[in-house]
Structure 1
C-alpha cells in the first residue's frame, strides 16, 4: 500500500477543501493518506487585514524531514502573482538537505491550486510547484484528459493538465465546484495508483 501525503497551504479555505478531495481520491486508489498544512508565516496583522481564515482543518506538518516517509507527495497552494505563495516556498526552502541526499528521488509528486479568476495564473502556479518537485527528483503526475469534465464549457471551472484547480472569485466567495472536486479526486487516485506501481 502506497503512503501519500497531501500537503497544502490555504488562506481562505478553498485549498483545504481541494486537499480533502485529493485525499479522498488517493484513498480510492488504495493509498494510506495523511493531510497536512504548512505553517502560516504572514504577520498576524497582515493576515487579519487581508481577511485570512485561520486554518485548523488539518494538523501542521512536522517539518521537511517528514517528507521521505511518503511514496507520493501532492502539493496544493494558491497563486500569489503567478507563483506559489511564500508560505509554501518557505517550507520547501528548508529542504536543501533532502535535495542534497536525494531523499525524495523517484517518489511521485503532483500539484493543485486555486486562483481568484479563470486567468489568474493557475498553470504558472502549478509549474512553480512542479519545478520544486522535479528538482527533488520526483516523478510528476498531472490531471490527464482521462478526466474529461475539465474540457467542458457549460460552466466556469478549474482543471488543467498540470494539476487540479479551482476558482475562488475576487472576494473568495466561490467554492470549489463538483467539477473542480472531481478533478482533485481523479488526480489523487492517479497519483496513488502510480505510486503503488513504482513502489511495488
Structure 2
C-alpha cells in the first residue's frame, strides 16, 4: 500500500483535475481523506496479513464521501476476503479481483464501457484470471490491462456516475476512478 500512497500523492492533483472536467471535482479530496485514515490506521498496526491491510483500507474508504469512496471500500473489502493468508498466489488474487469487481458492478450498476472504475477493474481481473506465470508476471499483465482500460475511457461517453450528467463535455477526459484502479494495480507489482 505504501507504493500506492506515494503514487496517489504524486497523482492527486491530476485525478482532481480529471474529476473537475468530468464530474464534481471532489474525487481527489475524497481519496486523500480515505487514504489519510488508512495510513493512520496502518501506522498503528504492528504486523498484518495482506488481507488485514486491505480490510483496514476498505474501512477507511467506506467512511468516505462521494460515490467512489464506498465503491472502492467494497472492492477492497472483497479483495481482503481472498487474501487472508500470509502468502498469496495468482489463483487467490485472481479470485479476489473477480469477486471484488463483481461486487462493485452489482452495487454501482456499471459495466465495461460505461466510463467508470469498472473499465480498469474488469481488464485487470481478466488478465489475472488468464495468467499462468508467476505472481509478478500476473501483476504485470493486470497492471498493463488496467492502464489500457483506464486510457480507453477517454473515448467513451459516460453512462454512470457524475460524468454521465455532462455528456459530451467529458469525452476526451480519462475517468479518475479507472485511473486510480490502474495506479493501484501498478503499485501492487513487486518489481
TM-score when scaled to structure 2?
Answer: 0.38
Higher strand proportion (structure 1 or 2): 1
TM-score when scaled to structure 1?
Answer: 0.36
Higher relative contact order (CA 8 A, sep 6+): 1
